[in-house]
């Protein structure tokens, strides 16, 4: 059994439970909260409801449930309104508890719904994808997308607890598992050279003996970063380091209408872009860039654009990124493998050169 973690914050702390299966632990927790006057409701999506029907019945039978559409399109104002109506129609009070079961999209949607309804109710995260387990379920970032860009609406609202059960990964589609690997590669690159070396040696699979330990290490790293810079206010470094590869990756998602790339696949391209940018700034060697790209490819992720995209559209999308400060983009670059830093004042021609190398036209 993998030991649990506590995300320690200035005003709130919460546990991350690492389990093989989660239904019994969730059922027990629901019963305990119900005794304290905190009844539960469930939010998931139709894909999870179909794939995890037996689990949902065992863990959540008898409580109100809402399944929203699957995919990035669910992070919209329209679907957000559906969740708010669901909470209101079921007379959820401030003592209510929203359970969010699914990947990063339901997690972001559910977290923001909990932050907004009655000006804030508690919620629990039960991530069912590798990406959500190692990244989006921890840290309290919630949000929706707008036509202008990704995650432009949102709030910092931490869950009451996170339940990570690795048995979900045994039935996760290979493409979804690979998408989660992108975030694990990110953690190795930004702060744990030994983790990156392990990923170089052999690609992760749902059957990897050390998968649970790798997931816990990523959560541990994120908890440490969030504790030091909960609301991403540090002038340099801090929580912004978690966006390694994401400024590029979000642009890929935006320009392709959230249709062609899973988030982790776009991050794979973004990590390759960040590596090439770091090389152009004099931090990495070409051999190190090659090592990064080979690791990305070994995990069944793209390291360049699958088809040409408009350079102008990509550059325009980046201007709407949340990390823009005083009208200037702030990138996360690699000073070396296992060490990242934020950097502004990068000439746009350098960024354009990176995009062109990855297939933009």
Catalytic residue check, 160: no
Distance CA 198, CA 185 (A): 10
Catalytic residue check, 222: yes
Catalytic residue check, 320: no
Place of tokens 């996360």: 332
Catalytic residue check, 246: yes
Two tokens, residue 211: 């998968």
Q: Could you say which of 160, 216, 222, 322 is catalytic?
A: 222
To the nearest 10°, the Cα dihedral for 184, 190, 192, 194?
Answer: 80
Q: Could you say which of 217, 243, 276, 323 is catalytic?
A: 243
Q: Could you say which of 72, 145, 151, 183 is catalytic?
A: 183
Catalytic residue check, 119: yes
The span from the first CA to the last CA of the chain, in angstroms, equals: 50
Burial of 41 (0-12, 13-18, 19+ CB in 10 A): buried
Q: Could you say which of 150, 158, 186, 246 is catalytic?
A: 246
DSSP 135-203: IITSS-EEEEEETTEEEEEEEE---SEEEEEGGGGGGS-HHHHHHHHHHHHHHHHHH-HHHHHHHHHS-
Catalytic residue check, 157: no
Q: Could you say which of 72, 176, 232, 293 is catalytic?
A: 232
Counting runs of H as helices and runs of E as strands, what totals does the chain give? 14, 11
Q: Could you say which of 158, 239, 322, 323 is catalytic?
A: 239
Catalytic residue check, 243: yes
- Please identify every residue annotated as catalytic: 119, 141, 183, 222, 232, 239, 243, 246, 250, 263
């Amino acid at each position: 059994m993998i030991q649990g973690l506590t995300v320690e914050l200035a005003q709130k702390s919460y546990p991350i439970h690492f389990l093989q299966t989660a239904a019994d632990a969730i059922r027990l927790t629901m019963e305990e909260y119900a005794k304290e006057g905190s009844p539960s409701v469930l939010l998931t999506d139709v894909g999870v409801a179909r794939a995890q029907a037996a689990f949902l019945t065992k863990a959540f039978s008898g409580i109100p449930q809402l399944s929203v559409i699957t995919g990035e399109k669910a992070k919209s104002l329209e679907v957000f309104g559906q969740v708010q109506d669901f909470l209101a129609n079921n007379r959820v009070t401030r003592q209510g508890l929203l359970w969010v079961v699914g990947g990063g999209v339901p997690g972001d949607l559910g977290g923001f719904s909990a932050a907004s309804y009655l000006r804030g109710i508690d919620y629990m995260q039960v991530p069912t994808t590798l990406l959500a387990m190692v990244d989006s379920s921890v840290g309290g970032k919630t949000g929706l997308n707008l036509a202008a860009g990704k995650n432009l609406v949102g709030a910092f609202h931490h869950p009451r607890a996170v339940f990570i059960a690795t048995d979900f990964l045994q039935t996760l589609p290979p493409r979804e598992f690979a998408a989660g690997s992108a975030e694990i590669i990110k953690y190795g690159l930004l702060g744990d050279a030994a983790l990156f070396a392990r990923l170089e040696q052999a690609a992760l699979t749902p059957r990897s003996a050390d998968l649970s330990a790798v997931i816990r290490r990523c959560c541990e790293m994120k908890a440490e970063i969030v504790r030091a810079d909960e609301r991403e206010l540090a002038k340099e470094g801090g929580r912004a380091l978690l966006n390694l590869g994401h400024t590029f990756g979000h642009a890929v998602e935006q320009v392709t209408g959230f249709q062609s790339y899973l988030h982790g696949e776009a991050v794979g391209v973004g990590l390759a872009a960040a590596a090439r940018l770091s090389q152009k700034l004099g931090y990495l060697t070409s051999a190190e860039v090659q090592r990064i790209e080979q690791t990305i490819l070994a995990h069944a992720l793209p390291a360049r654009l699958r088809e040409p995209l408009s350079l102008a559209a990509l550059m325009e999308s980046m201007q709407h990124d949340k990390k823009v400060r005083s009208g200037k983009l702030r990138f996360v670059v690699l000073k070396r493998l296992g060490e990242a830093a934020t950097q502004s004042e990068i000439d746009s021609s350098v960024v354009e050169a990176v995009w062109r190398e990855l297939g933009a036209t």
